């Protein structure tokens, strides 16, 4: 796991100057690779490749980067892990034996490109990666990213140069890189809490989409850049899987999934450094840890963050799972002050506006784990593959009820719900006790009902799903001069249920641009490699072959995955309502963070900076402070942009 950066110039530059520029760029990524630094430049070709190394596999100099192929044709800088390295290496040796320098996956990757070519190699790889590959013979630069988007890769044009890196901060270190904020991207950020690929927050700077590669010649830099080429598509893979539906019983599916996950988790446990797991006590992370422990002779190291805030603590659940499995468990109870102390670091850590507030506990648990291990497995992506989010469970049922009601009546119902504050609704449903509907009895009834009110006027299933994910449903009313694109229509997928469409859409956007980005920045911010076992193409394929009844049944998701876990952990320990990895941002904004927030969103400041209309933001702020509404996610998205903007301005003056 590492950080990479570099540039490809259309104009010549002296060797010493190229080295100096490259050194400055990769210095910004030291947190991603604290163990070593490498540089490679070809002034005649105008190409410079830089690398920061976090040594995980093959700690020797034989694994150092930039790495050149044995035949001298290719040079690579690479970030990630290839989990089927041994299979690829065996296949290469079967054709013709290679005098391997070491056992790193980097060497196997570059030699595979020599033997099979780039696209054929990408199709064979199982892992997480982003890399830049220079073809010395053809004088072509290739940029590539893994299928699901676990590892980031940004690129853009600066003058006559193409610049690229794992994080935007390395691009900002390139001389003359003075990016302009993209107001369309800003609007999409306010809608989702992140900037969806292929956009970045900067105009003319892009994220390479998941499952794509981009090939560039020197004469294409100054012209319009070519579009990335997909080598894998989640939609195509899901459609292919559905054409081969699973024919076995649910018991057989549990057996097959158990065996497959054991194999996949085992492949993610290969490392030459200490390894552990992040454990929340939920279905996904508990399954990963159970399968790790089942394959280890010693105790797996597990890590969890606890909170004293009511409704925000998962530590007791993680502790129960760890005790049953016999792991070497470490937990840390954090105070509000611990979470608040992270807030000033978020703009630099995430490097692009990012508003998923679970970024705070994700960073804290990564920081905790890094004290003992260099690699940690996580349970992310189980929800998208096996139907775990509440929106999958309720969206289809809600749409069936809404579609026959005139929109005017639905809007009237929404106004009736929001006439009462969330706090008032909380008290009302608390008095109902066990007679309250299931989700509302679990707590935060007022927030849930207010959120429901925002869904009532949706015109389609696609719009309903989008609103379920939206922070600001109409961001162009908040962002000045935003030219918001029409939301792309979901693919025409005849016979698909709401949950299936939503699961695929989330795999394509929410997973890479929110969940995986959050985990990457938080973990790499403390030089921890996070691995996601569920993101294996074989698991993806099996999940999409299974009928929905094996995923969503009896009013809850992840049916077949739960049954795998029950083989290792009793249901009583892990069965409970789904709880997000959250912090009480709404409470903080009324107390500890109030002064900080008021300074960032002061109307005169917003007017002066020119990005936001102050009125809707101030209205949300006042309603939040009064307790009339809980606008924590909307306000947090604005505040994270404002804090990021302030950090950029401070950085520019330094």
User: What residue ranges define each of the domains in the chain, with the CATH number in brackets?
Assistant: 2-232 (3.60.20.10), 235-387+516-574 (3.40.50.620), 584-654 (no CATH)
pLDDT at 639 over 80: yes
Q: Which residues contact 90 (CB under 8 A, 6 or more apart)?
A: none
**Region 215-224 average pLDDT:** 85
- Mean per-residue pLDDT, 326-344: 90
The pLDDT score that the predictor gives to residue 441 is 56
The conformational region for residue 351 under phi > 0 = left, psi -120 to 50 = alpha, else beta, is: left
Residue 581's pLDDT is 61
Q: Name which of 41-45, 113-117, 487-491, 503-507 the model is least confident about.
A: 487-491
What integer is the mean pLDDT of 87-93? 95
The pLDDT, as a whole number, for residue 435 is: 60
Residue 546 pLDDT exceeds 80: yes
Kindly list the distances between the CA atom of residue 160 and the CA atoms of 12, 18, 26, 163, in Å, as whole numbers in the listed order: 10, 14, 20, 10
Q: Is 305 annotated as a binding residue?
A: yes
Cα–Cα distance measured from residue 573 to residue 275, given in angstroms and rounded to the nearest whole number? 25
In whole angstroms, give the CA distance from residue 20 to residue 24.
6
pLDDT score at 132: 98
User: What separation in angstroms does the CA of 394 have from each of 340, 367, 552, 579, 621?
Assistant: 33, 35, 11, 16, 29
579, pLDDT greater than 80: no
Residue 57, CA atoms < 13 Å, CB-side half-sphere: 21
φ, ψ dihedrals at 281, nearest 5° = 95, 0
Q: What are phi and psi of 538, to 5 degrees?
A: -70, -40
Residues 56-80 have a mean pLDDT of 93
Beta bridge partners of 181: 202
DSSP codes, 436-468: S-HHHHTS-HHHHHHHHHTTTT--SHHHHHHHH
Task: Give the residue carrying structure tokens 């057989």.
Answer: 252
Name the active-site residue from 2, 158, 212, 304. Answer: 2
Stretch 409-436: mean pLDDT? 76
For residue 74, pLDDT over 90 is answered with: yes
Query: Which tokens belong to 653?
Result: 């003056």
Q: What is the pLDDT of residue 434?
A: 59
Q: What is the mean pLDDT of the chain?
A: 92
Q: How far, in Å, are 165, 211, 505, 588 from residue 145 at the CA level?
A: 12, 6, 19, 37
Q: Look up the pTM and report it.
A: 0.93
| Per-residue pLDDT tens digits for 306-330 | 887 766 778 899 999 999 999 999 9
Residue 491 has pLDDT above 60, yes or no: no
Structure tokens at 411: 């809007």
Residue 442 has pLDDT above 60, yes or no: no
Q: What is the mean pLDDT of residues 443-465?
A: 79
Model pLDDT, residue 444: 65
Q: Cα 153 to chain center, whole Å?
A: 13
Please indicate if the annotation marks 76 as binding a ligand.
no
Range with the poorest average pLDDT among 338-352, 377-391, 521-535: 338-352
pLDDT (0 to 100) of residue 505 = 95
Query: Is the pLDDT at 402 greater than 90, yes or no?
Result: no
> Is 93 annotated to bind ligand?
no
Q: Indicate the SS3 state at residue 522.
A: helix
The answer to whether 304 is a known catalytic residue is no
Please check whether residue 633 is in contact with residue 193, taking contact to mean a CB–CB distance below 8 angstroms. yes
379 annotated to bind ligand = yes
So what's the pLDDT on residue 459?
81
Please compute the mean of the pLDDT values over residues 371-375 and round it to a whole number.
97
Question: Which residue has tokens 């963070």?
Answer: 593
User: What percent of the chain has pLDDT above 90?
Assistant: 74
* Banded model confidence at residue 462, pLDDT cuts 50, 70, 90: confident
- Is the model's pLDDT at 232 over the cut of 80? yes
Confidence class for position 361, pLDDT limits 50, 70, 90: very high
């Amino acid at each position: 796991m590492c950080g990479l950066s570099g540039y490809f110039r259309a104009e010549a530059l002296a060797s010493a100057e190229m080295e100096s520029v490259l050194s400055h760029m990769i210095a910004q990524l030291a947190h991603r690779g604290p163990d070593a630094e490498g540089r490679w430049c070809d002034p005649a070709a105008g190409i410079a490749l830089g690398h920061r190394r976090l040594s995980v596999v093959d700690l020797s100099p034989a694994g150092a980067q930039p790495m050149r192929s044995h035949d001298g044709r290719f040079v690579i800088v690479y970030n990630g892990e290839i989990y089927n390295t041994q299979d690829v290496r065996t296949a290469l040796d079967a054709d013709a034996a290679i005098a391997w320098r070491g056992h790193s996956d980097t060497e196997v990757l570059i030699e595979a490109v020599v033997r099979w070519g780039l696209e054929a190699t990408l199709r064979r790889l199982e892992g997480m990666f982003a890399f830049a590959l220079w073809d010395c013979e053809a004088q072509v630069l290739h940029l590539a990213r893994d299928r699901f988007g676990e590892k980031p890769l940004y690129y853009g044009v600066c003058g006559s140069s193409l610049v690229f890196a794992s994080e935007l901060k390395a691009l900002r270190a390139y001389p003359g890189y003075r990016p302009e904020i993209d107001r369309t991207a800003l609007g999409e950020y306010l809608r989702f809490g992140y900037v969806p690929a292929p956009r970045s927050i900067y105009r003319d700077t892009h994220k390479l989409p998941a499952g794509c590669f981009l090939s560039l010649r020197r004469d294409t830099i100054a012209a319009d850049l070519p579009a990335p080429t997909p080598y894998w598509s989640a939609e195509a893979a899901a459609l292919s899987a559905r054409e081969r539906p699973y024919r076995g019983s649910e018991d057989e599916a549990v057996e097959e999934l158990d065996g497959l996950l054991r194999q996949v988790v085992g492949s993610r446990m290969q490392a030459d450094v200490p390894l552990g797991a992040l454990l929340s006590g939920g279905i996904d992370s508990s399954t990963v840890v159970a399968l790790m422990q089942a394959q280890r002779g010693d105790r797996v190291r597990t890590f969890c963050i606890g909170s004293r805030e009511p409704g925000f603590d998962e530590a007791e659940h993680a502790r129960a799972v760890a005790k049953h499995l016999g792991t070497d468990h470490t937990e840390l109870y954090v105070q509000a002050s611990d979470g608040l102390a992270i807030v000033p670091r978020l703009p630099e850590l995430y490097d692009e506006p990012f508003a998923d507030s679970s970024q705070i506990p994700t960073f804290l648990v990564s920081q905790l784990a890094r004290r003992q291990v260099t690699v940690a497995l996580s349970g992310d992506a189980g929800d998208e593959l096996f139907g775990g989010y509440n929106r999958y469970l309720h969206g289809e049922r809600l749409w069936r009820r809404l579609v026959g009601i005139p929109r005017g009546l639905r809007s009237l119902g929404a106004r009736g719900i929001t006439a009462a504050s969330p706090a008032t609704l909380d008290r009302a449903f608390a008095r109902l006790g066990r007679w309250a509907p299931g989700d509302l009895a679990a707590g935060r009834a007022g927030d849930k009902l207010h959120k429901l009110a925002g869904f009532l006027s949706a015109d389609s299933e696609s719009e309903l799903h989008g609103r379920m994910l939206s922070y600001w449903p109409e961001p162009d009313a908040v962002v000045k001069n935003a030219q918001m694109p029409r939301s792309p229509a979901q693919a025409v997928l005849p016979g698909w249920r709401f949950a299936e469409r939503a699961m695929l859409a989330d795999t394509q956007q929410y997973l890479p641009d929110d969940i995986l980005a959050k985990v990457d920045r938080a973990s790499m911010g403390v030089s921890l490699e996070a691995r996601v076992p569920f993101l294996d193409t074989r698991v993806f394929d099996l999940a999409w072959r299974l009928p929905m009844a094996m995923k969503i049944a009896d009013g809850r998701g992840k049916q077949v995955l739960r049954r795998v876990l029950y083989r290792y952990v009793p249901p009583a320990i892990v069965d409970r309502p789904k709880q997000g990895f959250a912090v009480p941002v709404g409470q903080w904004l009324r107390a500890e963070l109030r002064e900080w927030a008021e300074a960032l969103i002061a109307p005169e400041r917003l007017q002066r900076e020119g990005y936001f209309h102050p009125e809707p933001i101030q209205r949300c702020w006042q309603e939040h402070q009064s307790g009339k509404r809980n606008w924590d996610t909307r306000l947090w998205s604005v505040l994270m942009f404002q804090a990021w903007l302030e950090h950029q301005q401070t950085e520019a003056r330094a």
